[in-house]
Amino acid sequence: MQEMSGFLFGFVEFAAALFIFLLGITAMFLMIVYIKDVTQTKQAVLRNYPVIGHFRYFFETLGEFFRQYFFAMDREELPFNRAQRTWVYKAGKNINNTVAFGSTKDLRRIGSVMFVNSPFPTLDEDAVHCTETVIGPYCEHPYKTSAIFCVSAMSYGAISRPAVRSLAHGARKANIWLNTGEGGLSPYHLEGDCDIVFQMGTAKNGVSDHDGNLDDDLLRKVAAHDQVKMFEIKLSQGAKPGKGGILPAEKVTREIAEIRHIPVGKAAISPNRHTDVNTNGELLDLIERIRRVTGKPVGFKAVISDEQWLDDLFTEVIQRGIESAPDFIVVDSADGGTGAAPLPLIDDMGLPLRESLPMLENKLLEYGLRQRVKIIASGKLVTPADVAWAICLGADFCVSARGFMFALGCIQALQCNKNTCPTGITTHNKDLQRGLIPEDKIEKVASYAKNLVHEVGIIAHSCGVKEPRQLDRRHARVVMENSLSKRLDELHPFPIAVKTESININKDEE
């Protein structure tokens, strides 16, 4: 008994001593922080409120993560709200996406899109799958596809190895294409055996010589892969028009550097534009060169804000001949996303799709090039309604990056520009990549694409057409300032005048 009481007394004495020691250490630490705060001259909050002022920055950091879970309503968060993310998550998991009671969408909000239902919707037995479309009819190897929704540009480097593998295999299962992004063609793009669009950014990663010039032999090497179906010249990107790609130094691993032909561990900053393209004529020359060398369709990706530029470009096409036209144009919008970009460009540069997409289609119609040049829409298209709306406005195809990131498990933590993505999608930290299991994500990528296209079909059939490609501006309305809606063909009327030269060329060539 005495031994037990002696042990307890000794333990209490030790615990008290430890407590006093830790208290002393804590007091000393707080005193150091206090002295440092009141003497520093850069942060007024810490100078006026030493020690406790640090809680302000701590809570500000926590707020970034807690906002979407505790405070934001289902449809008020940006860039994507909870309702949008939840739809994608369920579609990826193949979970029933029906809802009950009524819509939570505010149909009175300016800009809201509503589709025009037909009194005689399409019957199931009359419905057809998306028709096959040919891109690049003047090429040695035209590309034929029935896809309408595909994976937009995300480079190996901006996203991780397991993410690329998941997208490549998932794209194959869904029978859609995968865009490599401007980081070059990696083995992980190829291993999925899916259709691939090779994107050539302003740095020409993977197809340039040591001086940064386009190398025809490297182009042929890429084109030799049967999976590579098209080549896309990136002029500009929706989230950062006028700014090249930005890959932080910590993401430039040895493997990524070898694929891109760049130095290891050094930030990869692409030029603001292609240094060898200064005019529309030089752009068409570059398109023709790549098409001749590879034998495959070639187009370009751009943020479109200027009608005059389209006039000048298409006038040049008409003068050269319709075969000189780009095989496709990817119109990226101010709604587009990125891994890293300056805030003024993300917030204030470029036009959203609701303006640029009908602008592009009208100009193609005006010059008689609409059948020749296919339109691919990009920028915040993640749900069936988004895609159906873009098709109504003139898109032949829609592509999404962030939608497929959600299918991979993205939680919108806004860490893409760092190497700290908690879901392993945009990081090369091996510990964080452990959470991303390709075998699981492949199915989610494929299911997301298939379910989205299925529900675009539901919208199309409700509008009274047999398949999504038959949707046009008559099938959707947009809410205006007076809370009443206008049909898209009233809001964006088709051009009345069509260039005579383009009509003749179109009739002869088509």
Residue 433 has pLDDT above 60, yes or no: yes
pLDDT at 359: 96
Domain count, the chain: 2
Stretch 252-268: mean pLDDT: 82
Does 46 share its domain with 141? no
Residue 57 has pLDDT above 50, yes or no: yes
C-alpha–C-alpha distance, residues 23 and 33, integer Å:
15
Does 148 share its domain with 222? yes
Residue 503 has pLDDT above 60, yes or no: no
Does 316 share its domain with 176? yes
pLDDT at 385: 94
Q: Other CB atoms closer than 10 Å to residue 342's CB: what's the count? A: 13
Residue 263 falls within a domain, yes or no?
Answer: yes
Residue 504 has pLDDT above 50, yes or no: no
- CATH number, domain of 253, equals 3.20.20.70
Residue 102 has pLDDT above 90, yes or no: no
What range does the domain containing 61 cover? Answer: 2-71
Q: What angle do CA 151, 152, 157 make, to 5 degrees?
A: 105
Residue 105 falls within a domain, yes or no?
Answer: no
> 292-326, pLDDT tens digit by residue?
999 999 999 999 998 999 999 999 999 999 999 99
Does 269 share its domain with 360? yes
pLDDT at 73: 53
The residue from 71, 97, 125 where one domain ends is: 71
Residue 125 has pLDDT above 70, yes or no: yes
Stretch 265-277: mean pLDDT: 84
Does 28 share its domain with 168? no
Does 325 share its domain with 411? yes
> 138-162, pLDDT tens digit by residue?
999 999 999 999 999 999 988 889 9
Per 3-state DSSP, what percentage of the chain is helix, strand, and coil (rounded to 5)?
A: 45, 10, 45
Residue 76 falls within a domain, yes or no?
Answer: no
> 389-402, pLDDT tens digit by residue?
999 999 999 999 98
Stretch 184-198: mean pLDDT: 95
Does 157 share its domain with 18? no
Does 277 share its domain with 374? yes
C-alpha–C-alpha distance, residues 358 and 391, integer Å:
10
CB 290 within 8 Å of CB 219: yes
Residue 499 has pLDDT above 60, yes or no: no
% of the chain residues with pLDDT over 70: 85
Residue 86 falls within a domain, yes or no?
Answer: no
Stretch 2-20: mean pLDDT: 70
Residue 115 falls within a domain, yes or no?
Answer: no
pLDDT at 49: 78
pLDDT averaged over the chain? Answer: 85
Residue 463 has pLDDT above 80, yes or no: yes
Local structure of 419: helix, strand or coil: coil
Q: Other CB atoms closer than 10 Å to residue 470's CB: what's the count? A: 16
Does 223 share its domain with 334? yes
Does 375 share its domain with 461? yes
Stretch 274-289: mean pLDDT: 95
pLDDT at 108: 80
Tell me which DSSP letter residue 136 carries.
-
pLDDT at 505: 35
What's the Rg (C-alpha) of the chain? 27
Q: Mention every residue, 6+ apart, whose C-beta is less than 8 A from residue 327.
A: 135, 136, 138, 139, 230, 291, 297, 298, 299, 373, 374
Residue 174 has pLDDT above 90, yes or no: yes
pLDDT at 148: 96
C-alpha–C-alpha distance, residues 493 and 481, integer Å:
19
CB 51 within 8 Å of CB 37: yes
pTM: 0.83
pLDDT at 429: 82
Strand locations in 296-352, DSSP E? Answer: 298-303, 328-332
Question: In which residue are the tokens 């998550």 written?
Answer: 89
Residue 444 falls within a domain, yes or no?
Answer: yes
Phi-psi region of 483 (alpha: psi -120 to 50; beta: other; left: phi over 0): left
Most confident of 249-263, 295-309, 346-360: 295-309
pLDDT at 426: 84
pLDDT at 64: 59
pLDDT at 124: 86
345 or 487, which is more confident? 487
pLDDT at 9: 62
pLDDT at 324: 96
> 332-343, pLDDT tens digit by residue?
977 766 655 666
pLDDT at 266: 81
Does 28 share its domain with 144? no
pLDDT band at 501 (very low <50, low <70, confident <90, very high): very low
231 or 255, which is more confident? 231
Residue 294 falls within a domain, yes or no?
Answer: yes
Residue 174 falls within a domain, yes or no?
Answer: yes
Question: In which residue are the tokens 């392993």 written?
Answer: 424
Peptide bond preceding 438 in cis form (omega within 30 of 0): no
Does 455 share its domain with 365? yes
The residue from 42, 71, 100 where one domain ends is: 71
C-alpha–C-alpha distance, residues 55 and 61, integer Å:
10
Stretch 1-13: mean pLDDT: 63
